[in-house]
Chains A and B, each alone.
Chain A
Amino acid sequence: MVAQQAAVTLEDISRDAMAADLTDGERQAWIEDALDCIRTNGAVVVRNAIPPEVIRAVNDEFRVRHDVHMAPGQKKLFRRFQSDPLRAQVPTAVSGPVADPRFFAPPSVLALARELVGDDFIIGDMGVVISHGGATKQEIHRDSSPLFDGAEMDLDLPMFCLMVLVPLVDVSADMGPTEYWPGSHRIKDTDAVTVNPPIQIPVEAGTVCLHDSRLVHRGGRNEAGPVRPLLYFGFHRNWHFDNDGFDYKPQIRINETMLQRLPEEHRRRFRWALHLNRVESLYEFTRLWTRRIHRSLTGQGYI
């Protein structure tokens, strides 16, 4: 039994985002407090990290771009990597409102990421998980494999991947919010950790949940029904490459045009993934685009 988790509440790991008018000293104090929280608990929830209009723009675009995934009752989900057909996981292109740094790197998140995974961190994976009404609880999991074969020291190492979760809508307790087991990033035995109940993270849109990729967690059951899209970003140390489960999709969907549209300071975080989005031959290129056009003309769902 891992007793210390029971004492941690959502409020314990929640912070308001850094205000824009903080002094240097106040800003540093905010960062240190939030760092202490995530290093101890494995997670920190930052309220009002992203302005409402930015979230709205992304959500509006999603309803168009990902209509096939967002439509209620849609079962044929493109590139599904979750065991539940009512929970789609889709790689997201770094374009449109998603490519707005206020969305993928808001100041509070960026300040913490630099401290936790290095100033030169890369965005190593990025996508959306769309949970439909009736989606069951996700499997309990961690977002990364141990670096060194699961040796005890793996859990003592500094963070190497910071996961950033951004719900695009308000998520109530019955809409399947993320569930964390605080402190579990430092505990090897997942079964012992999950003897205790997790804490649920219902949030309002604009809140960002940050967690150490070693933290034990899961998506909750979506009982209420509204479609719940949640963007995720993996902020990795610049040597960490997550190739588990990416056999048939790129970790990041980006091309040279998208890269050039990003502010220069952020290009280095995505540039590494350009080669993941290339097609192998003229044949593959032709096949890819004829299929896309065909689907678009016929209105067929994916798969």
Chain B
Amino acid sequence: MSQAERPGLVREALGPDVTPDAREAWLRSAADDFRTNGVVTLRNAIPRPQVEAVLRALKAQPMKGDDGDDRPFQPAPLRPRIPVALEGALADPAVFAPPSALALAQRLLGQETIIGELGLVISRPGDGPREARRAAIPLFGGLDVESDVPSAAVTMLAPLVDAGPDAGFPEYWVGSHRTRGGAADFAEAPFQPAFEAGSVVISDWRTLYRAGPNTSGATRSGLYVSFQRKWLLSLSGTEYKPGLRVPAATLKRLPQACQPLVAWALHQNKTDDVSEFVHLWLGRAVKGLQAARGG
């Protein structure tokens, strides 16, 4: 059996009219399969109109230079990873925490799950292939127990456009969240999910994945959301960026049930002092003026 044929790798998301019993059965089954596979695609998890609204909003937002406020954290200039503020169309829980994905994350990580990171990952035409990697950091110095413990984090990748295999979205090694390195990691061919706007791919942060080259000729973008246990502090690459950008105004507007997901990050988005505050807003004003003049 190839990896793609394993049960539970692709599921329809929960429908809005599902009964509590059916919901519980779906969750139990999805969580069990996920614990085995380390990755799952949920089809139709986000309504397409919402995805399109996000895409429109992001396209309307001027993308600044790679060394500017976007703060990319990928070494490759053609593949920026940008923490975007949770506001506007993106601040819709149906988008950043779709019910099926959130329910599955909470089943795996507990009811105190938070969103630790949220942003865009963009691959521009000509972007090359990446090395296979895990998003996880070793919790206990690389001891065997790392692969035995429950998930500490799961990553949701939500493509904002339909994309074929040539767009370079990742492929995943099923079950590799439980392997401990070496040949066992790559014993089988990787699973290449179908990336469609509205679907989401959820992976254990230990699961091996590899993004391919973008030979499609088009820019492809996806929203990434890291659901994680509340104690997980990822310092990697975050010295100069908040992993989650949450304006206080957004927090107030969110449904109460969603607020605990992001409330923790309010303090991450504060400015240091008057000088930084002035600098930040002057910089934004200047850039806004430049953009208005077509500069």
Which residues on A are within 8 Å of B, measured CB to CB?
Answer: 118, 122, 145, 147-149, 151, 153, 156-158, 160, 237-243, 250, 255-256, 271-272, 274-276, 278-282, 285
Taking a contact as CB atoms under 8 Å apart, the answer to whether B139 and A160 are in contact is: yes
- Give the residues from 224 to 258 in chain B that come closer than 8 angstroms, CB to CB, to chain A: 229-235, 239, 242, 248
Q: How far is the CB of A288 from chain B (nearest CB, A)?
A: 11
Measured CA separation A243–B277 after assembly (Å): 26
Which B139-197 residues have C-beta < 8 A from chain A? Answer: 139-141, 143, 145, 148-150, 152
Asked if B273 and A279 make an inter-chain contact with CB atoms under 8 angstroms apart, the answer reads yes
* Residues B139 and A237 in contact, CB atoms below 8 Å apart: yes
A272 pairs with B235, CB closer than 8 A = yes
Given the complex of chains A and B, what is the CA–CA distance between A270 and B264 in angstroms? 19
Complex Cα–Cα for A241 and B153 (A): 14
**Cβ of A282 and Cβ of B139 under 8 Å apart?**
no
Chain B 205-217, CB-CB to A under 8 Å as 1, else 0, gives 0000000000000
Q: B143 to A153, Cβ gap below 8 A?
A: no
- By secondary structure, the A interface counts as loop
A279 touches B270 (CB 8 A): yes
Question: A285 and B277: CB pair below 8 A?
Answer: yes
B150, A148: Cβ atoms under 8 Å? yes
Sorted from nearest, which 6 A-B pairs have the closest CB atoms?
A241-B233, A278-B270, A280-B270, A158-B140, A278-B272, A148-B150
B271 lies within 8 A of A243 (CB): no
B18 close to chain A: CB less than 8 A: no
- Distance of A147 Cα from B141 Cα, bound (Å): 16
Contacts of B25 in A (CB 8 A): none
- The closest CB in chain A to the CB of B264 belongs to A243
A280 touches B139 (CB 8 A): no
Residue of B with least CB distance to A149: B110
How many A-B contacts at CB < 8 Å in the complex? 78
Q: A285-B273, A285-B274 are in contact. Are A275 and B242 (CB under 8 A)?
A: yes
Q: Given B148, B232, B242, which contacts A153 in the complex, CB threshold below 8 Å? A: B148
Residue ID in chain A nearest B267 by CB atoms: A276
Chain B's nearest CB lies how many Å from the CB of A227?
31
Chain B residues with CB under 8 Å of A281's CB are 271, 277
At the interface, yes or no: B259 with Cβ under 8 Å from chain A? no
B266: nearest residue on chain A (CB-CB)?
A280
Contact partners of B143 in chain A: CB under 8 A: 158
Q: How distant is the Cα of A136 from the Cα of B246 in the complex, in angstroms?
A: 41
Apart from A148-B229, A241-B231, what 9 extra A-B contacts exist at CB < 8 Å? Answer: A122-B235, A145-B231, A147-B229, A148-B150, A157-B145, A158-B143, A238-B235, A282-B274, A282-B277
Task: Determine how close the nearest CB of chain A comes to the CB of B151; give it in whole angstroms.
Answer: 9
Contact B231 A243 (CB under 8 A): yes
B277 near A153: Cβ-Cβ < 8 Å: no
Interface: B218 (CB within 8 A): no
Chain A residues near B29 (CB, 8 Å)?
none
Cα of A237 to Cα of B143 in the assembled complex, Å: 14
A-B contact pairs, 29 of them (CB 8 A): A122-B235, A145-B231, A147-B152, A148-B149, A148-B150, A149-B110, A149-B150, A153-B148, A153-B149, A156-B145, A158-B141, A158-B143, A239-B139, A239-B232, A239-B233, A239-B235, A241-B230, A241-B233, A243-B230, A243-B231, A255-B272, A272-B233, A274-B272, A275-B242, A275-B268, A278-B270, A278-B272, A279-B273, A282-B274
Is residue B137 within 8 Å, beta carbon to beta carbon, of the partner chain?
yes
Question: Contact at B267–A147, with CB atoms within 8 Å?
Answer: no
Nearest-CB distance from B116 to chain A (Å)?
9
Contacts of B273 in A (CB 8 A): 278-279, 285
CB-CB under 8 A for A279 and B271, given A158-B140, A241-B232: yes
- Residues on B with beta carbons closer than 8 Å to the beta carbon of A118: 141
Residues of A within 8 A of B270 (CB): 275, 278-280
Partner of B239, one of A157, A256, A271: A271
